[in-house]
Amino acid sequence: MDLEGLKGLNFVMRDRQTRSLWQQATGVAFEGPLKGKRLELLDFLLTTWGEWRKLHPDTLAVMPDPKYLNRYRGTERSPTQGFIGDQPPASRGKKLVDDPRLPDRERIVGIEIQNVQKAFPIALLRRQLVVNDSVGSTPVLLVVTNGDTINAFARTVRRRNLTFQAKPRTTDLLDKETRSTWSPDGECTSGQLKGIKLQRVTPLPSFWFSWAQFFPTTQVYSIK
């Protein structure tokens, strides 16, 4: 894939084999021989290096190639660092989406399950830390650790929907139904369900204007 440009203030990529154009936000080809096809989304975790090393101390890391150091300049910045007010440059002063449910530039993580989408404002997640909710008919759990890492899971175990809460004075969780203890990474470490791992769901980081533009029927999470 090569970066081709922008469409709707969102990256467009061109594959080298068929020259089809793909929208980064949806993974769908909108022009070319593969028009209508969608890339498979692989599970990933957006986190810090410190958090990742706690989970995987023997992990390997990609290091810069000394031959191309000049090309790496600026890549250590966060995706919005350098924007005025955390705004993408082309969006300054413009109304970007006709959907008033959230401010255009609200940072969200989006979840899609069985063609149903839901946007979760990151500011709300950081206030609650543990969120029991649903996307369509699928019960989900979102967990924020250290303000940086957001994990999401399906919270149905053995045909039973579990409800989670923070365990006092720890970073662990408790489910109210069995009182089992769970790590923020979705593994039950003690109790009736010890050894079970929750099924991961991938939360996609985005701005509201981008998510709402490509998923106009999206649901929006709010504090009830």
Tell me the domain boundaries of the chain.
2-31, 107-220
Do 220 and 117 meet the contact criterion of CB atoms below 8 Å apart? no
Of residues 76 and 224, the one with the higher pLDDT is 224
The whole-number pLDDT of residue 6 equals 83
pLDDT at 35 over 50: yes
DSSP letter, residue 66: G
pLDDT at 90 over 70: no
Residue 215, Cα to own-chain centre: how many angstroms?
15
pLDDT at 208 over 70: yes
Give the residue carrying structure tokens 């649901």.
Answer: 219
Residues 52-67: what's their mean pLDDT? 86
The whole-number pLDDT of residue 95 equals 67
CA distances (Å), origin 93, targets 20, 78, 98, 104, 105: 32, 22, 15, 11, 11
For residue 82, name the pLDDT band (cuts at 50, 70, 90).
very low
For residue 79, name the pLDDT band (cuts at 50, 70, 90).
very low
- Among residues 27, 4, 215, 213, the alpha carbon closest in space to that of 115 is found at 215
DSSP letter, residue 214: H
pLDDT at 165 over 60: yes
Neighbours of 119 (CB within 10 A): 23
Which option is the CATH number for 107-220: 2.60.40.10, 2.60.40.1730, 3.30.750.24, 2.102.10.10? 2.102.10.10
Residues 66-94: what's their mean pLDDT? 56
The whole-number pLDDT of residue 140 equals 97
Q: Which residue type occupies 200? A: R
Q: Which residue type occupies 32? A: G
pLDDT at 212 over 80: yes
For residue 4, name the pLDDT band (cuts at 50, 70, 90).
confident
Residues 119, 110: Cα–Cα separation, whole Å: 4
The whole-number pLDDT of residue 45 equals 81
Residues 139, 71: Cα–Cα separation, whole Å: 43
Of residues 74 and 63, the one with the higher pLDDT is 63
Residues 163, 142: Cα–Cα separation, whole Å: 11
158: exposed, middle or buried (Cβ count in 10 Å: 0-12, 13-18, 19+): exposed
Alpha helical stretches, state H, the chain: 49-55, 122-128, 208-214
Task: For the full predicted model, state whether its pTM sits above 0.85.
Answer: no
